[in-house]
Amino acid sequence: MCGIAGSSRESMFEILMQANSDRGKFASGILQLYKKHGHITFKKKKSINFDDDPILDPKCKYYIGHNQAPTGGERKFEYDTCHPFFSLNWAIVHNGVLTNEEALRKKELKTSENLVDSSLIVDLLEKHTVSDGTLKIEEQSNVIKKTLKKLRGSFALAIVYLPTNAIYIVRQGSVLHFDKKGNFSTIKGDTFDLVPEGVLFRLVRNRWTEVGKFKTKSPFAFVK
């Protein structure tokens, strides 16, 4: 199991990351997004101590974090196998397990070399981004929904369209919570509700707004 979290407020983000730290102590990653475009990425082995790792930029508009517990057995820490994962236009953090990883590698993503199943999600997003120029909001949603339809297993995802730093969250099987102030977290806060399964949300003025639905294909009734 892993933990993901996000907030526009530095103090809240630290609280959420600390709350999720018990879900994964192998590695940590943070994606800091600026208002219109641009980002900072930080990854390290084990959990982040915000007193020892003063890495958050107060000028950023939103912070997304991941606490990693590897699902593929023992392995060494490597920057490229830790969240967040990137393509040219997209970034993601993921909690869950894809059950059709082998099929995706054989049929959809024959050239993908990263051994982590989560990396395939961002590769699929990029594969479906075929329009020239910056995607409109509806086009972004369509790319995401087209990608989600090809995933089997469980996922709680935070997805970023990097040209505009638009932020999306969605889940299938895996747990994910959100509140009315634009925060999200695997671990439930006092004012957080469970994200509806199969519904795609976009962050609009620090509020989560429904922008689409997809048919879920999780083999699990509920996955922590």
pLDDT digits (tens, 9 = 90+) for 149-197: 999 999 999 999 999 999 999 999 999 999 999 999 999 999 999 999 9
Q: Residue 115: its pLDDT value, please?
A: 85
Q: Residue 88: its pLDDT value, please?
A: 95
Alpha carbon distance 47, 65 (integer Å): 11
Asked if 24 contacts 35 with a C-beta cutoff of 8 angstroms, the reply is no
Residues of the chain whose pLDDT is less than 50? Answer: 221-223
Q: Residue 71: its pLDDT value, please?
A: 55
The CA distances from residue 189 to 14, 152, 181, 183, in Å, are 13, 28, 12, 10
Q: Is the dihedral of CA 141, 41, 74, 111 positive or negative?
A: positive
pTM for the model stands at 0.94
Asked if 223 contacts 25 with a C-beta cutoff of 8 angstroms, the reply is no
Report all structural domains of the chain as residue ranges with CATH numbers, in order of start.
Answer: 3-213 (3.60.20.10)
